[in-house]
Amino acid sequence: MLVDLLKNALSDTRLVQSFSGVRTVFGSGSDISTEHHSLAAAYGYCYAKRVLSGGSARFLLGRDPRPTGAAVIRGLALGFLAGAAETRTDLKLIDLGIITTPLSETAIRALEADGGVMVTASHNPIDNNGFKFLTGCSENPLSGAPCGALLSAGSMGVVISDVGKLVDDGEGFHTCCAQISQERLDQALLSADNEHSRVKAERAYLDVIGDDWGITPHCLKPLTLGPALLDPNGGAGCGIDARVLEHFGVRVIEINAELGYPEHGIDTDGIDPASGRHMLIRVSRAASRNSAHFGVAFDYDADRGNLVLPGYDESAIIPPQRVATFNIALALARRKLHGKSDKPLAVVASDATSLASHRVAEAFGAKVFQVETGEINVVSRMHQLRKEGYDVPVGVEGANGGTIFESATCRDGLQVALSAAQAESTPDVACEWMKVISGVNGCRFDAAHAVTLPELIASIPMNANVMLKLSSPPIPHGEVKQRMEQYFSTKLWPNLSARFASYEYENFEETKMVTVRTGDESGAWRLMLRAPGRSAFVFVRGSRTESGVWRMIIDTDDPADFDIVKQAAEQMFTEAAR
């Protein structure tokens, strides 16, 4: 029975089920195991049952080019149709094929779909795969996030729980799936509207970007703008991201652009095992060889874009926290020049985002709202603030440089490239930023001087910042946090109080910062240290999927504070994890 296969799939230690989606090792071929087929069907079934309530509806399906993508789609589609049968819904499936995550989310809104799924494992190895469910444009119990976005953490938690319950009570799931023939499944996936819908989605994507950025076709081509180098690495961004940039006038050189054939590791923000050097060096070297002004490397679903300058060593690689701050600076400079809103200005940042981003936002008079780590938390807070009357042009999930621009509901690597291109092709935006930073730093800026992209990036503030991966015995997360607080208060603060004026413990739950967590203790915890004119933080977050694995980020405004805070942070965690 499907339920027995599902039970085996759920017991696999490689399975990751989190608020950002489901992922596991599906394999390197085009087929998937019967256990994995059952897993996909179970998730599709539980999602559909929560979303559908009779009448007629449409779900969109998209995937990145991983070899198992079509098979995973087939499993999900079986579950969707089974859930539709149980809820007496006439469900139409539209398979958009290989597509980027930003484009799939735009498609939900453009086609006014009732739900959908993106099959991808993002930056993980090619033998991994997974799926992210999206909110639809109709009201339903999972509509806790904007239309076309990922499900909220709470909504995804409901679906995960529903799937777990099928192990003990899955007769309805098995029966409904058994009624869906292979012929019916084939027919549902081969809709005549598939290609028309994809074209409509791509056109909507161009229109949204043009509206959000205030740009028109072929407008970004003054003589100063050289080519941009894009490396989609065989991923979903092949072709489409270059076409969008060229539509707006950016000259593009595309490398490693054969769909489904990655030329190097999928995770570009890591070390190349062949050379022992950072993966992005190959991109910066390619930018140099091709006389490009900058390069962008995408992950496999193209929602992340790593920005580099041309060069031959690590100095050409722009750290993710600086990319996030760069995007904030340029977005707010554009808004200051061209924005007509009289609404208060706001920026949303995840709890792992460097305080340098806060300083840039505040230099433009923007208020910074912080949320728990997770793209959907940033997106949801941006939309909440707009309903409250704020103008929110940008949000960042700073640890990975991910940026949500304007009306988008996810990170978009293409728009990182667009930000860099516009910085060069519209000198008034770059000059506006330089004026602002000159006022903050108290230095002079010559407006007659054409600002180059390297000069612009060098002007972006960057804190002393490091991310560490730590381990502990399998101690409950809440207990580790309590131990850290107790040790810091009693043992470390007496010495640090000579350098800082105050400290505060911060907890985050989705879109809010709370004094004490009321729910899942695996969320982020921060120690904030403040002194006149400067701040620092220690961010600690335990893995929800790997027992005893923790991530720590230390960030200080003043470089002189860094070693002191880092030593205290490591000592605090070591004592708490004993």
Chain Cα centroid distance, residue 490: 38
Distance CA 358, CA 366 (A): 9
Widest distance between CA atoms in the chain:
74
Q: How far is CA 150 from CA 153, 299, 411, 494, 496, in A?
A: 9, 18, 11, 44, 41
Distance CA 231, CA 241 (A): 10
pLDDT of res. 226: 72
Report which DSSP code applies to 491: I
| Tokens, residue 45 | 């079934």
Contact 399, 352 (CB under 8 A): yes
pLDDT of res. 518: 67
181: phi then psi, degrees, rounded to nearest 5: -75, 160
Tokens 């079986």, residue? 78
pLDDT of res. 223: 45
pLDDT of res. 507: 87
pTM of the model: 0.92
Distance CA 224, CA 222 (A): 5
Distance CA 556, CA 39 (A): 44
Distance CA 108, CA 117 (A): 10
Tokens 């791509």, residue? 202
Q: How far is CA 71 from CA 2, 78, 307, 576, in A?
A: 16, 11, 33, 45
Distance CA 427, CA 215 (A): 14
Strands (E), 99-136: 115-119, 128-134
User: Helices 320-338 and 427-441: crossing angle, nearest 10°?
Assistant: 110
Q: Which helix (H) or strand (E) holds 451?
A: none
Tokens 């489904």, residue? 260
Report which DSSP code applies to 123: T
Strand partners, 120: none
Q: What's the pLDDT tens digit per position in 3-16?
A: 899 999 999 989 99
In the chain, what is the straight-line distance between the N-terminal and C-terminal CA atoms, in Å? 45
| Tokens, residue 132 | 């992210």
Q: What's the pLDDT tens digit per position in 423-461?
A: 888 888 888 888 888 766 656 666 556 788 898 999 999
Tens-of-pLDDT digits for all 578 residues of the chain?
Answer: 788 999 999 999 899 998 889 999 999 999 999 999 999 999 999 999 999 999 999 999 999 999 999 999 999 999 999 999 999 999 999 999 999 999 999 999 999 999 999 999 998 899 999 999 999 998 888 888 899 999 988 899 999 999 999 999 888 999 999 999 999 999 999 988 899 999 999 999 999 999 999 888 888 776 456 799 999 999 999 999 999 999 999 999 999 999 999 998 888 888 888 888 899 999 999 999 999 999 999 999 999 999 999 999 999 999 999 999 999 999 999 998 877 678 999 999 999 999 999 999 999 999 999 998 889 999 999 999 999 999 999 999 877 888 999 999 999 999 999 999 988 888 888 888 888 887 666 566 665 567 888 989 999 999 999 999 998 888 888 889 999 999 999 999 999 999 999 999 998 888 887 776 666 676 789 999 999 999 999 999 888 767 778 999 999 999 999 999 999 999 999 999 88
Distance CA 453, CA 292 (A): 12
How would you class 523 by CB atoms within 10 Å of its CB: exposed for 0-12, middle for 13-18, buried for 19 or more?
buried
